[in-house]
Amino acid sequence: MASSQNLPIEYDVVVVGSEPEGIIAAIAAAENGAKTLLITQDSLVGGLYVMGQMNSLDLRQDPFNYQQGLFEKWWYRVGNSHSFDIALAEMAFTQMLAEAKVLVRTTAPELSPYMEDNVVKGVRVAASEQTASGVIFAKQIIDASSEMDFAAAAGAKYSIGFTEIGLNERMVDSLVFQIDNINWGELKRGIKRRGKSYASVDDWVAWGHFDKYPANYQSVEEGIRLRGLNLGRQRDGSVLVNALLIYGIDPFDQASVDDGYARAEREAPRIVDYLKREIPGFRNASYGGVADKLYIRESRHLYAVCKLTIDDVINNYVNQYHIAAGGYPLDVQTLTPFDSGFVYGKPEMYGVGLCVNVPRSIENLWVVGKSAGYDPLAASSARVVPLGMAIGEAVGLAAANAAKNNLTSHEFISDKQNIFDLRELLSKRGAYIPVISSHGPLGPYRHPYYADYRTMLSRGLAVAGYNNEPYLDQEMKALSYVYLLANVAERFFYDEQFGQILVNEFGALDEQLSPERALQITAFMICELGDCLEPSWSKLIENSYAPNSFPPEHNLTRGEMYALAARIARKFAK
């Protein structure tokens, strides 16, 4: 690691932060001929994988490994498994940075952007006991901080969590903790006896609901919950656990983050004692400590030059300008203490464009990692680190080329030839470039109410699970329609109070959604929204609140319920 005394102050590319995606970007930039610095306030490089000790990999390997290139080179150094040893991961990152001749500075003081108008010219390093304040200049800067703090300080615009789709929530945070003295052989045998509905296991990872035993844990600390276990084994036999959920944290308030960390740290030993009672192989388990940093699962979503949307993911959309391929499930972790998370679907393959990494109005700044330009639903798939590392490789190469040719970030991404050349370079380096294919959209796209289902899905109000089946022909309860419309008011109209009016009027219903009841509820809702019509199907059809085929001769199905809700949503959406 570089000392502050001999650190040059001018570079082609500077990477701020040391999340895995940024490390790969720095390596790619240096390998592409750029004089590159990676500077971080952390004591070790590796971010979530090292400081956060998140050692389970979210990979897409079916029908092949989508993330190749530099990610794959790092992955083989750490064992080519679904889990890895933390010390080995940090060593592999450090070695690859050194081999690429990236200058690295850790434990830096506070870092902030140095700007002229809307152009980021460098990184201002605050004064500390070791160094005077100063500016490190660069032609291109890549924000690889966990929460895009550097880009936010530069004025890049963003949304937070699910606010973009009318929900003031974000995915829950976690603290990884360590368990020692697990008998992994006994764990494997116990899981295999119980079958895949209990859990899945190999030599290095185990994951599953474990017959809901973890989820039934009652915490002592406020705002703590345990979910199904993700267990990642290390070389010394210790096991890192990703399952401890922490609610109520403000990720931008250090006191709140510290409080959440402290609550989770106090709870972790109690969780180990609880798991010892029932989980196979845990009889002699002992608590081994917690990670240095929280896993802040979601915070900012960059307003980038372009956006990866839920429609892109659901449509398996790939074009000739995409530089990486995603395919991880649309897996939204729990948003509140009262839900268990949501799986919106499992894409085949979608492409990601370089423009998701460039803020709209800031020049010479790139953002890599989970905070890139994804809408919150698309982010539930695209946030995974292996995909972020693949994108990071493309960003590093692009930043180096922009620096070499004296192009701004916006000039670089707006020239199609630059993108074509970048795709060719990535391919030569061993990265996987998605090709345009005939993958159709996910789910029953020939169903007559598929478009209405997609309207609900666009705001997170319809799910299809891992099998991409939304069950549009399933008969529904009247109360389900009431709550759906209440959520439509919140997600499409940004009105958190309207739903209570509906619930007050119809919340006691305990019946199937008959055509008569659907008419009553629909007419009531649109009247409350200011369009009072005669409560008849002919009037609703005439005013585009119902399909021409209505009313059905049976209790309404989910698809038919979506058809009514989607028309109201489209009519009054803000």
> Kindly report the CA angle at 148 between 306 and 376, in degrees rounded to 5?
50
Decide if pLDDT at 572 tops 50.
yes
Q: Which CATH class is domain 4-161+301-428?
A: alpha beta
Question: What average pLDDT does this structure show over 190-209?
Answer: 96
**CB under 8 Å to 218, separation ≥6 — which residues?**
none
Percentage of the chain modeled with pLDDT above 70: 98
Q: At 325, phi and psi to the nearest 5? A: -120, 130
State both tokens at 495.
């009105």
Question: What average pLDDT does this structure show over 234-246?
Answer: 97
Residue 133 pLDDT level (bands cut at 50, 70, 90): confident
Q: At 18, phi and psi to the nearest 5? A: -135, 40
Quote the CA–CA distance of 149 and 343 in Å, as a whole number. Answer: 29
Decide if pLDDT at 1 tops 60.
no
Per the CB < 8 A criterion, the answer to whether 86 and 50 are in contact is yes
pLDDT per residue as tens digits for the range 528-541: 999 999 999 999 99
- DSSP-assigned letter for residue 288: E
State both tokens at 192.
């295999």
pLDDT for the residue 509 = 92
Per the CB < 8 A criterion, the answer to whether 159 and 300 are in contact is yes
Contacts 24+ apart (CB under 8 A), 91-97: 93/18, 93/20, 93/23, 93/45, 93/46, 93/50, 94/45, 96/23, 96/27, 96/70, 97/23, 97/26, 97/27, 97/38, 97/45
**Structural domain spans, the chain:** 4-161+301-428, 173-290, 450-572
Percentage of the chain modeled with pLDDT above 90: 93
Decide if pLDDT at 130 tops 70.
no
Question: How far is residue 210 from each of residues 136, 214, 499, 543, measured CA to CA in Å?
Answer: 51, 7, 36, 51
Decide if pLDDT at 4 tops 50.
no
Closest residue by Cα to residue 324 from 357, 351, 355: 351
Residues linked to residue 113 through DSSP beta bridges, in sequence order: 123
Strands 36-39 and 173-174, bridge-based pairing: unpaired
Residue 455 pLDDT level (bands cut at 50, 70, 90): very high
Question: What average pLDDT does this structure show over 384-399?
Answer: 98
Decide if pLDDT at 281 tops 60.
yes
Question: What average pLDDT does this structure show over 523-551?
Answer: 95
State both tokens at 270.
């109690």
Residue with the bigger pLDDT between 1 and 167: it is 167
Decide if pLDDT at 3 tops 50.
no
Decide if pLDDT at 168 tops 90.
yes
Question: What average pLDDT does this structure show over 417-424?
Answer: 98
pLDDT per residue as tens digits for the range 255-279: 999 999 999 999 999 999 999 999 9
Residue 324 pLDDT level (bands cut at 50, 70, 90): very high
One-character DSSP codes across 60-80: --SSS-S--HHHHHHHHHTTS
Q: Give the H or E element holding residue 419.
A: helix 416-428
Residue 574 pLDDT level (bands cut at 50, 70, 90): confident
Question: What average pLDDT does this structure show over 200-210?
Answer: 96
pLDDT for the residue 144 = 98
pLDDT for the residue 148 = 98
Cα dihedral 87, 88, 94, 97 in deg (nearest 10):
-150
pLDDT for the residue 129 = 59
Quote the CA–CA distance of 42 and 46 in Å, as a whole number. Answer: 9
- C-alpha 369: how far from its chain's center? 9
Closest residue by Cα to residue 271 from 281, 282, 280: 282
pTM of the full structure: 0.95
**CB under 8 Å to 251, separation ≥6 — which residues?**
147, 173, 257, 296, 299
pLDDT for the residue 363 = 98
pLDDT for the residue 5 = 47
Question: How far is residue 231 from each of residues 219, 331, 466, 547, measured CA to CA in Å?
Answer: 20, 18, 21, 49
Residues 441-454: b if buried by 16+ CB within 10 A, e if exposed: bbbbeeeebbebbb
Lowest mean pLDDT of 5-9, 26-30, 523-527, name the range: 5-9
pLDDT for the residue 132 = 62
Quote the CA–CA distance of 434 and 146 in Å, as a whole number. Answer: 27
Positive/negative CA dihedral, 56, 59, 61, 67: negative
State both tokens at 152.
């936010």
E strands, 251-313, in order:
286-290, 300-302
The overall average pLDDT reported for the chain is 95
pLDDT per residue as tens digits for the range 468-507: 999 999 999 999 999 999 999 999 999 888 889 999 999 9
| Side chain identity, residue 486 | A
pLDDT per residue as tens digits for the range 72-109: 999 999 999 999 999 999 999 999 999 999 999 999 99
Decide if pLDDT at 435 tops 50.
yes
Quote the CA–CA distance of 1 and 244 in Å, as a whole number. Answer: 33
Decide if pLDDT at 7 tops 80.
no
